[in-house]
Amino acid sequence: MNKTGSGENRNRRTTLLLSGLVVGMFGFGFALVPLYDLFCEVTGTQSLSQRKINPADLQMVKQVESDRLVTVKFDATVNPNLPWDFQATTRSMRVHPGKTYEVNFVARNRSGDAATGQAIPSVAPWQATPYFSKLECFCFNKQTLDGNQQTDMPLRFMVSPDLPADIQSLTLSYSFMRLKASKNKTDLSKLLPQIARQSATENTLPNR
């Protein structure tokens, strides 16, 4: 400013620089989409519920804890993009840690067209996630239902005896999501590797 005559040029230069910064920050907003995943992966600050558990850290199941009972509740939802009915035949059960149980889910295709979906599990409270072990689950694979078909979907599970003592009740929740997109909005393929990773982790939990 103090140099006579150069004011207009200096203003133009500063304005251009700042405009560049604005455009850059707009781009940075979009760059955050992949960066956010990358950051979590590199630093390991991924959310607690997805934290990988080292199976060696968990106590091998030697015996059933017959004097301890834990309530397991089952919740089933379907994403609106999949015209299915989906529910557990049992709302909740009392289980002994270390013992294997089986529970049945029923899925029915309300529409006349075949569709493929995959169930995505989650456990609440999240602290219980690593201690809930699915030995056999329909969520490991994608499921195809023909038009109006109804099918049973069994789940065999066990709660690890290492489950912290303050957790007396936990909820297993499934949401079914459509896999093959019939409309543009519903492509699940991006999610598949993530599901596979999660299932693999769960399979390594003690199952003897």
Residues that bind another protein (CB under 8 A): 1-8, 10-11, 14-15, 18-19, 21-30, 32-33, 36, 44-49, 51, 79, 81, 126, 177-178, 183-191, 194
The least distance separating another protein from the CB of residue 20, rounded to whole angstroms, comes to: 10
Cβ closer to another protein: 40 or 200?
40
CB of 124 to another protein, least distance (A): 10
Nearer to another protein by Cβ, of 126 and 140: the residue is: 126
CB-neighbour burial class of residue 77 (10 A; exposed 0-12, middle 13-18, buried 19+)? middle
Least distance from another protein to the Cβ atom of residue 2, Å: 5
Cα 202 from Cα 9, distance rounded (Å): 63
Pairing of strands 169-178, 70-78: parallel
With beta carbons less than 8 A apart as the criterion, state whether 51 and 74 touch. no
Smallest distance, Å, CB 126 to another protein? Answer: 6
At 198, is the secondary structure helix, strand, or coil? helix
Rounded to whole angstroms, how far apart are CA atoms 16 and 40?
Answer: 34
Closer to another protein by Cβ: residue 50 or 90: 50
Q: Left, alpha or beta for 98 (phi > 0: left; psi -120 to 50: alpha)?
A: left
Cα(13)–Cα(7) distance, integer angstroms: 10
Nearer to another protein, 72 or 195 (CB): 195
C-beta closer to another protein: residue 31 or 69:
31
Nearer to another protein, 31 or 60 (CB): 31
DSSP 98: T
- Nearest-approach distance from CB 98 to another protein, in angstroms: 27
Supply the minimum distance, in Å, between the C-beta of residue 52 and another protein: 12
Instruction: Kindly report whether the peptide bond that precedes residue 161 is cis, defined as omega within 30 degrees of 0.
Output: no
